[in-house]
Amino acid sequence: MNEPLTAGIAVVGGGVVGLACALRLAKAGHEVVLVEPETPGMGASYGNAGTIADYAVMPVGTPDVLKSLPSLLFDRNSPLAIRRAAILSLAPWLMRFAWQSLPHRAAANAAALATLVSDAAPLWAELAAEIGGSAILQHRGAIYVFETAAALAGAGAAMQARRDLGVTVDLIDSQDLAALEPGLPPAAGGAFFPKALFLSDPGRMVGLLAKAVADAGVPHIRARVDRLRRGPDGVHLSGHGLHLTARRVVIAAGAHSRDLALQAGDRVPLDTERGYHLEWDMPAPLLSRPCCPTSRGFYLCPMEGRLRAAGTVELGGLTAPPSPHRLARLNEGVSAFFPQLGAPSRSWMGFRPSLPDSLPVIGPSAEGPDVIHAYGHGHIGLTLAPVTARLVESVVAGTAPDRDMLPMHPGRF
């Protein structure tokens, strides 16, 4: 594919965010192409925990996390760890993260997150119906599991803070927990989010989304964008075998978006929180809904034909191979709940695209609306894909967005 191509809108990146944007823009009548070097949907969007986490209104950086940050980061076994080799390159991101964890910043970030996730569930229900994926969208809630009485007692204030931000959550005791999830070993209690949705197979749902994008007439250009440059006739995208000029470009390359954003004129402190999953094939996956033992930082998720344990955070950049140590710790954590499982059927690592304030970057480039940012969704990119698509569509149409986009502005740092 060496001949120069032209397009109305080029969406760069075919993860759940780019695909949702491409579908929405194509359905609105725009001429859209998708530029993605791999099979769409095989990045972070493939291996996540599948929760439509409209209850995840707390940023990763909070005053409590800040207090324990040094011990968390430098303990190789903690749910939030750092690769030693990456410490220097991550220092600027960590300093911003520490600032965003101060009480006033964390409160502002939580309020912005609450606004963003508020209608994620109905928008997902709409999207799933549109692409033939309603059977994958489960309406059985999600649970934070507290293993000790102290953790349960300490959760009251945190859950009230979520209620204050519009989240429906019930604190439940060990009996209620056992009634909801008889497959779990006894625990002190939990926080039940009864309205939460989850996907019983995120990979399959994103596959349906990719098919809907193709069916909407969006060509898939199988290439990586290395260079982005503005010209008089539009935005030029180039890479190996790629010469494309588009009137507009949506950058949706997940954790890989920082260099493209910089070439568009926006310096964004995007980095990655690496996350892992392990899966065990089984016909009945032991649980009815995603359960997160919060102190361990991963979810136990019932998926189609398998149990998936997904989560933990490892600050470690985009190039290093997966850490066998992190996978072993994840396996140990799961064994505390299900010692009968044996060796996992498969493992996976993915790159959460993360900003220090836990908010995505959505909106026009500071240099002009011919480049639109749509990445950086961290722990809730699956949740926010349809919300992001709606906001991107309003930027393209030049209409007023349905919520305040200032907290997501690329120039906010």
Residue in 269, 377, 395, 408 binding ligand FAD, rule: CB under 6 A: 377
148 vs 316 by CB, closer to ligand FAD: 316
Q: Which of 9, 15, 97, 192 binds ligand FAD (CB under 6 A)?
A: 15
Nearer to ligand FAD, 35 or 291 (CB): 35
The token pair that represents 164 in the structure block: 């204050």
Q: How many helices (H) and strands (E) are present in the chain, helices listed first?
A: 12, 20
Minimum CB separation of residue 410 from ligand FAD in Å reads: 15
φ, ψ of residue 47 in degrees (nearest 5): -105, 15
Per CB under 6 A, the segment of 8-16, 69-77, 181-189, 331-339 that binds ligand FAD is 8-16
Q: Tell me 304's DSSP state.
A: T
Q: List the one residue from 277, 289, 326, 329 that touches ligand FAD (CB under 6 A).
A: 277
Query: Residue 299 CB, nearest distance to ligand FAD (Å)?
Result: 6
Instruction: Provide the minimum distance between the beta carbon of 173 and ligand FAD in the complex, in angstroms, as a whole number.
Output: 25
CB-CB contact of 55 with 289 (8 Å): no
Residue 178 CA to residue 118 CA, distance in Å, equals: 29
Considering CB under 6 A, how many residues would be counted as binding ligand FAD? 42
Q: Which of residues 30-89 bind ligand FAD (CB under 6 A)?
A: 35-38, 43-45, 48-51, 53
**Residue of 18, 189, 363, 364 interacting with ligand FAD (CB under 6 A):** 18
Q: To 10 degrees, what angle do helices 202-215 and 16-27 make?
A: 30
Q: Which of 310, 330, 361, 371 binds ligand FAD (CB under 6 A)?
A: 310
Residue (38 or 404) nearer to ligand FAD, CB: 38
> 180 vs 223, which CB is nearer to ligand FAD?
223
**Phi-psi region for residue 13, left (φ > 0), alpha (ψ -120 to 50) or beta?**
left
Regarding 353 and contact with ligand FAD (CB under 6 A), the answer is yes
Answer yes or no: are the C-beta atoms of 372 and 364 closer than 8 Å.
yes
User: E strands of 152-304, at which residues?
Assistant: 170-173, 189-193, 197-199, 220-221, 227-231, 234-239, 242-251, 271-281, 291-293, 298-303
Angle between helices 120-131 and 202-215 (to 10 degrees): 60
Q: Name the site residues for ligand FAD (rule: CB under 6 A).
A: 12-18, 35-38, 43-45, 48-51, 53, 224-225, 252-256, 275-277, 310-311, 350, 352-353, 375, 377-383
